A and B are shown apart, each in its own frame.
Chain A
């Protein structure tokens, strides 16, 4: 017992410097790469503006209630995910363990995506940009064959960056340039998370606000590009027929869920550093709405640029045809322009049909270029967007800005992931209290770096796809489901409502009660079942980049070998299985205790748990 009295609230737990830091951290965690490269893609394939309807319904009934639940939980119990779920009920401790495992798995592969972003960033300082020209082949008679058959941008991504193998079973070797960038990325993460929220709280001011600045710059630039309006009209024209397809609703629900970074434990950790008397309801609504607005805001420059790219491709097609015609008929230069192309073509077709047929002109249609296979994820950023950047004046500056923006977006999400790993470990006190926090964060970053080295192999990007599809999807749905059920039916909703009312200072709205009790668990169950059913319908396959494939440059569709499929199942099942396992473990312990009544559980007398 110390000489100075301890006020219960001053428990030495780190806290946010101000409320803005906390809100910014939650927003930064939620707003990530998916807002830029998944949401616009979903809008495009699911009927443009019409997609916003299921999206906002999902936000209202799934996103906001779950977000409020997690923030309130963390804030009231003032513990990370492991401690919080143990406090709710030792039987639910598995939920915390599952969250923690998912955070680890996602941190591993997410930072490798940031490695790729960093690689592109440091390559953007050259003139000309390395992905704009094909390298020459050995005897300098022409361009490199692989590059020539596909495009320079594809070549730079698949060969110069990933050095990808044609099959997931072929691991290839470690790519030293990626190892360097990976080390730098983990060093950046260590730098920012070195003392937990003390340092991330300062870093978040930059990493959370900077992307918005760059998005605005891109918005202004994008809208001035020719063809931007075509792209935007194409994106936002609603096609209400798509709403009949249940796939659209499923995609909306999953997008909201994964976009808000729920069930990672990171949000609980962030909220646990708050003072308990804080309006978590307003925070939840704010964060969710800002996240969705950011998705919408980001899709505008993305689609302006895509529209610009399609228009440029269309003009190139026209120009190529015009040059062919001029050369064939020896007409003076600039006699056929884009505007009078159609009239010239009809005139020439009527007068010299054989010659025109002999030229084998490609038909140029703007709609066709806009309809070109919509891309999401890394394909959008590293192939489509980089190609569009080459066409803009001052491409180096745009490339640098774009990749710094992606890096900040990803980094602020990494803070949340790392916090989801760091806070529970800190509470478990696996390192002695005298040891500095810097040591724990250093150990986490070092071990993660060593494991993530496996993603720098030739087959690394195939593995990252697997992690993204299996570790970062199904377990989260399961954990979130158990979160809601646990709080509502085991901790009891009445008690939780009282806790929230104590924190916010006002009575809980009926909307929250209904959402938590019925709608959210039901929605989660439906989404989970639908998601798993869809995944099981076809054998899990992937597309491989194989220069020796006949259909090259199309990617080759391959099925995962059985051992890889086993790993996929393991990744998806391991975090989920923690929930019943821990419950079983406690059940067995309880049974043993009830057989031996003299053995009293130390939990009843643990004073420090009540006050920490």
Chain B
């Protein structure tokens, strides 16, 4: 009794060893970088984590093929290194000692990649399935590009500034015109003695006018 049990166990073990080895058919290499992802909060990779991994792969296979035949014992892990990296393969319990085709496993993993990553608190980069490429997530694009909004704000400020300056300029211009017309009206009322069209007061003042023709400042013009 015991001998048959041992024999079957050893046969199973050998079969498993045959199925799961580096570069075996339908086997995938997994590379995990816990310290890179979590730093100080890194957990150690031990047998429990391996169990969780087998469970996640079994879960992925069940979800993908929606037949509840894949058991945790169907997922075989081997060659675990310190890196941490290992190979795994999924066996098919319905057919003896065969592995599920790689394409199925790949599709299942791809479908549930997010769930698997989150179970280990890792990402696509830190939990790598070496032969399975991840689909890139499309970038989030808002309906109006952000730069257009900022541009609108900037332009509004500039236009407001220009309008303000132009309006204040026009107001100043009108005020000056009004003042000069008022002054002219005022001067017309005041009687001024004129000599040659020049009011006499102006001639008495010190500043006077400089007649350019007779300016002593003829040094300003260079001889041609």
Is B36's CB under 8 angstroms from A607's CB? no
Cross-chain contact B82 with A332 (CB below 8 angstroms): yes
A485 CB to nearest B CB, Å:
14
Instruction: Give residues of chain A (505-562) contacting chain B, Cβ–Cβ below 8 Å.
Output: none
Return chain B residues, CB-CB under 8 Å to A191: 158, 161-162, 165
Residue among B147, B210, B219 making CB contact with A126, cutoff 8 Å: B147
**Does residue B209 face the partner (Cβ distance < 8 Å to A)?**
yes
A125-B146 CB under 8 A given contacts A136-B139, A191-B161, A333-B33: yes
Interface mask (B59-80 → A, CB under 8 Å = 1, otherwise 0): 0000000000000000000000
Tell me which of B159, B169, B192, B205 contacts A195 (CB under 8 A): B169
Given the known inter-chain contacts A191-B162, A330-B83, A610-B212, please indicate yes or no for A135 contacting B139, CB distance below 8 A.
Answer: yes
Chain B minimum-CB-distance residue to A127: B146
Contact A87:B151 (CB < 8 A) given known A140-B135, A187-B162 = no
Tell me if A87 and B162 are in contact (CB < 8 A): no
- Contacting pair A6 B150 (CB below 8 A): no
**B34, B158, B208, B210 — which one has the most chain A CB atoms within 10 A of its CB?**
B158
Distance A327 CA – B29 CA, assembled complex (angstroms): 12
Provide the residues of chain A in CB contact with B34, threshold 8 Å: 333
Interface pick from B96-104, B105-113, B196-204: B196-204
Whether A332 and B83, one on each chain, are in contact in the complex, defined by CB atoms closer than 8 angstroms, is yes
Distance between Cα atoms of A133 and B173 in the complex (Å): 54
> With A122-B154, A330-B83 given, is the CB distance from A5 to B162 under 8 Å?
no
Question: When the two chains form their complex, are residues A5 and B136 in contact, meaning their CB atoms are under 8 A apart?
Answer: no
A140-B199 contact, Cβ under 8 Å, with A194-B162, A333-B34, A607-B211: no
A125 touches B150 (CB 8 A): yes
User: 1/0 per residue A334-358: CB within 8 Å of B?
Assistant: 1000000000000000000000000
B151 surroundings in chain A (CB, below 8 A)? 122, 180-181, 184
CB distance from A480 to the nearest CB of B (A): 21
Q: Is B207 on the interface with A (CB-CB < 8 A)? A: yes
Please encode chain A, from 123 to 164, with 1 for each CB lying within 8 Å of some chain B CB and 0 for all others: 101100000010110001111000000000000000000000
Instruction: Assess whether A1 is interfacial by the CB under 8 Å rule.
Output: yes
CB contacts (< 8 Å) of A183 on chain B: these are 155
CB pair A126–B169 under 8 Å, yes or no, is no
Contact A333–B83 (Cβ < 8 Å): yes
- B41: Cβ under 8 A from any A Cβ: no
Say yes or no: A142-B136 contact (C-beta < 8 A), given A122-B147, A184-B151, A610-B220.
yes
Report B183-224 CB contacts with A as 1/0, cut-off 8 Å: 000010000100001110010010111111101010111101
Give the chain A neighbours of B224 by CB distance below 8 A. Answer: 90, 590
Q: Is the CB of B187 within 8 A of A3?
A: yes
Given contacts A1-B197, A5-B208, A184-B151, whether A333 and B222 have CB atoms under 8 Å apart is no
Check if A610 sits within 8 Å of B222, measured CB to CB.
no
Q: Quick check: is B117 within 8 A (CB to CB) of the other chain? A: no
B155 near A605: Cβ-Cβ < 8 Å: no
Q: Would you give the shortest CB distance from A147 to chain B, in whole angstroms?
A: 13
Tell me if A436 and B169 are in contact (CB < 8 A): yes
Cross-chain contact A330 with B207 (CB below 8 angstroms): no
Question: How many residue-residue contacts, CB under 8 A, span A and B?
Answer: 121
A135 and B34 alpha carbons, distance in the complex (Å): 29
Name B115-138 residues within 8 Å CB distance of A. 135-136, 138
A495 to B222, CA, bound (A): 11
Main secondary structure of the interface of A (DSSP, over half): helix
Question: How many A residues, CB 8 Å from partner?
Answer: 58
Nearest A residue to B198, CB-CB? A1
B81 within 8 A of A: yes
Q: How far is the CB of B161 from chain A (nearest CB, A)?
A: 5
Alpha-carbon gap, A565 to B154, bound state (A): 39
The smallest beta-carbon distance between A7 and chain B, in angstroms, is 5
A359 beta carbon closer than 8 Å to chain B: no
A143 to B136, CA, bound (A): 9
A282 to B15, CA, bound (A): 95
B70 shortest CB reach to chain A, Å: 28
Interface residues as binary, B8-39 with A (CB distance below 8 Å gives 1, 0 otherwise): 00000000000000000000000101111000
Whether a CB of chain B sits under 8 angstroms from the CB of A331 is yes
Expressed in whole angstroms, the minimum distance between the Cβ of B214 and any Cβ of chain A is 10
A610 CA to B209 CA in the complex, in Å? 12
Contact partners of B154 in chain A: CB under 8 A: 118, 122, 184
- Residue contact B161 to A88, C-beta cutoff 8 Å: no
Q: How far is the CB of A110 from chain B (nearest CB, A)?
A: 18
Q: Chain A nearest CB: distance from B163 CB in Å?
A: 10
Q: Which residues of B contact A6 (CB under 8 A)?
A: 207, 209
Residues of A contacting B135 with CB < 8 Å?
A: 140
CA distance A143 to B159 in the complex (A): 40
A8 within 8 A of B: yes
A438–B169 CB distance below 8 A: yes
Beyond the given A125-B150, A330-B83, A610-B215, please list 4 additional residue pairs across the A-B interface where CB-CB is below 8 A: A1-B197, A90-B224, A177-B147, A333-B33
CB within 8 Å of B: which residues of A?
1, 3-8, 87-90, 118-119, 122-123, 125-126, 133, 135-136, 140-143, 177, 180-181, 183-184, 187-188, 190-191, 194-195, 199, 326-327, 330-334, 436, 438, 490-491, 495, 590, 603-611
Q: Can you pick out 26 interface pairs between chain A and chain B where the beta carbons lie within 8 Å of each other?
A: A1-B197, A5-B205, A5-B207, A5-B208, A7-B207, A88-B222, A122-B147, A122-B150, A122-B151, A125-B147, A126-B146, A126-B147, A177-B147, A183-B155, A187-B162, A188-B158, A326-B83, A327-B85, A330-B82, A331-B82, A332-B82, A333-B84, A436-B170, A605-B212, A606-B212, A611-B212
Residues of chain B touching chain A, judged by Cβ–Cβ distance below 8 Å, are 31, 33-36, 81-85, 135-136, 138-139, 146-147, 150-151, 154-155, 158-159, 161-162, 165-166, 169-170, 173, 187, 192, 197-199, 202, 205, 207-213, 215, 217, 219-222, 224
Chain A to chain B: the 10 pairs with minimum beta-carbon distance, closest first? A607-B212, A330-B81, A332-B82, A122-B150, A330-B83, A333-B35, A5-B207, A122-B147, A187-B158, A126-B146
